[in-house]
A and B are shown apart, each in its own frame.
Chain A
């Protein structure tokens, strides 16, 4: 079955007693042991029928063995980090989502877990970073916000050789475009708040594991830590996932259009979109079905940023991504505010950088909005003398 079909059919033919097309929302926390025997559901933190359908679906979509739904992407990441113990070491993508960086450096460090931040495009550098205590690689690809693409096949070859786990944050690509488990990864995590939910209305995280032993360990952690997703949010997430294929197609087409438009714009210095980087383009053409719906760009001067953001009419200036509405984010003060300024500069998250989550609106409205806001900000900053 193809992914479009799997997505549209999430939760169907499961409500056996009523035939309901959509699986019901089970709010119950406790489940009667009928005749003293558990039905398989005991207590909603451990397992809830609605959440179960979601977990089963994401496992199937990511081609893994088990799925787990958490209350946010960060909760999914923290749950996975429960696999590690004091003294363990992980190798991590250099320009990581700021919240993940904060969790690693300000919380998990205190437990004696160490992290090395490496440009994962450089396989040699990755190999050099491996220590005897190294347990896993944690990868975001493409990275946020600079859109660096990691060659997952090459990385998983290396991690197999050193018996490391490969954990991939697949938030940007989604299973519609990329299946890291098929390329040898052991664990996939998602901020399902983003494309999978797709409507800027649910906060959720997902985990998919490969292999029974690993799946059992994550099941234990999900239940013990208890950062589970509620039944209503589980339902909303499945509802969003049904249209993932359609949305991703439109996100991508619009992102490509905007990337080319911005590249030609005189007030824009640089555009980060996988298509424009020959290596990223090659890797994605082999490992994924597209470039995704995210791009970043640098304006000529930092002082353009504020007037530009204030002049936007269609784009929403907000933190987040992956929803039907186009969002613009200023990483330096929003998503990456918790990354120290020197590290931010080093990885290229400067104060001229803006990140776009391209929505599913009409491309011409998006182009016109960026064009007018850039033009107005130029007039505000440089006055008429620039003309």
Chain B
């Protein structure tokens, strides 16, 4: 069965009791036990809830994994996965990982005795050089945020297997529609389902999918013990979003491709980051391991002043953090997603004051182009009067 079909027909969409075409919202925290000796499938909603389970089963199918787990946010999913490790363990993580993941690793997990080395995971030698006897896992975000650096998952998995390491991939940007890391040999996939999977800027959610039953048991234990689970109504909303994932991503990716080309030719734009452009260094690997380039692109306008001008002049995209929604969202990484990163580290990673990230939505692309054009081309002199 192909992805578009499986998103709608995966065995978790029909209520078995009534035939309802949408799984009911089981707003129950606890479940009656009909027998003392034979516990029911559900006992307490932190351990399992039928609505949440429908979502967990659906994402497991779509990612080609054996089990899925739903969490209160992408960070809750990521925090839970990191609880697999213990004091003394060492992790290798993509250098330009999402700012919240960076913050959790450097300010929370580090105090628990877990060390992290941040490396450019698009550079395989750098990964190998960072491995030590304590290393337990390689954690990769590809394409990365916001510079869309591509890491070669097949080759990373090979290295990881050589050294007996787990590989964990944050698949938020591409979703299983474009990229299925488990099929490339990865062990664990994490998602901020707040983004494309839900797709409507109305749910904060996280998902984890694992490849084998042993890992599944460990994640299930941690999900229940730590309790950072996804609420029932949010589980239902996420399932609802999932049904249109392929249609949404097709349209917004097409829009992103057109915009990337337009921006690349614009004289005021210093640089465009989009893996769909043949000039992007990760273009080739991306084409080999994913079936599309996604709907997020970044561009450098040269200075903080011009970036601010554009942010205040655009009419269509909402200026906000977040991405992956039906609406276009324009964000300013230096002040938003990567504000938690020290400026010198941020600049070293290429996240300049002139960098803007655009998550392209479902609007007509001509309207977005017109809007960006007027925002970019306004006279810079306006900005000079600013303090």
Contacts and interface: CB of A to CB of B under 8 A. Distances in A.
Contacts of A358: none
Contact of A103 (B87, B204, B226): B226
Contacts of B46: 72, 74, 99, 193, 203
B372 interface: no
Contacts of B108: 82, 221, 224-225
Contacts of B203: 27, 29, 230
B29 A106 contact: no
Nearest to B74: A226
Identify the interface centre among B73, B83, B311, B336: most chain A CB within 10 Å of its CB: B73
B29 A71 contact: no
Interface stretch (A36-44, A252-260, A292-300): A36-44
B362 interface: no
A334 B40 CA distance: 12
A310 B228 contact: no
A43 B46 CA distance: 25
A233 B36 contact: no
A317 B318 contact: no
A85 interface: yes
Interface string A100-134: 00110011001111000000000000000000000
B238 to A, nearest CB: 11
Interface stretch (B16-24, B285-293, B319-327, B341-349): B319-327
Interface stretch (A168-176, A194-202, A342-350, A366-374): A194-202
Interface in B11-64: 27-33, 35-37, 43-46
Contacts of A82: 108
Interface string A71-104: 1111101100010111000000000000100110
A305 B233 CA distance: 36
B202 A28 contact: yes
Contact of B202 (A29, A221, A320): A29
Nearest to B322: A30
Contacts of A319: 30, 33, 43-44
Contacts of B224: 74, 99
Contacts of A306: 36-37
A200 B30 contact: yes
Interface string B92-103: 000000001001
A32 B319 contact: yes
A228 B73 CA distance: 7
Contacts, number: 213
Contact of A224 (B27, B75, B87): B75
A49 to B, nearest CB: 13
B43 A33 contact: no
A29 B35 contact: no
Nearest to B106: A224
B79 A310 contact: no
Contacts of B322: 29-30, 43
A35 interface: yes
A201 B27 contact: yes
Contacts of A224: 75, 79, 100, 103-104, 107-108
Interface in A122-165: none
B234 interface: yes
A74 B227 contact: yes
A225 B37 CA distance: 37
B321 A330 contact: no
A227 B142 CA distance: 24
B312 A35 contact: yes
A206 interface: no
A71 B224 CA distance: 12
B233 A85 contact: no
Given A233-B233, A327-B30, A74 B225 contact: yes
Contacts of B114: 111
Interface in B195-249: 201-204, 206, 221-222, 224-234, 237
Given A203-B45, A224-B107, A111 B112 contact: yes
A74 B226 contact: yes
Contacts of A334: 43
Contacts of B194: 29, 44-45
B204 A230 contact: yes
Contact of B29 (A74, A86, A201, A317): A201
A309 interface: yes
A10 interface: no
B113 interface: yes
A319 B33 CA distance: 9
Q: Which are the 4 A-B pairs with shortest beta-carbon distances?
A: A226-B75, A74-B227, A227-B228, A72-B227
Given A203-B45, A205-B227, 18 more contacts: A35-B312, A43-B321, A72-B227, A74-B225, A75-B226, A99-B46, A99-B225, A102-B225, A107-B83, A193-B29, A223-B75, A224-B75, A224-B107, A225-B104, A226-B206, A227-B227, A318-B30, A319-B44
Interface of B: 27-33, 35-37, 43-46, 71-76, 78-79, 83, 86-87, 100, 103-104, 107-108, 111-114, 194, 201-204, 206, 221-222, 224-234, 237, 308, 311-312, 318-322, 325, 329, 336
Interface of A: 27-33, 35-36, 42-45, 48, 70-75, 77-78, 82, 84-86, 99, 102-103, 106-107, 110-113, 193, 197, 200-203, 205, 220-221, 223-230, 232-233, 236, 305-306, 309-310, 316-320, 323, 327, 330, 333-334
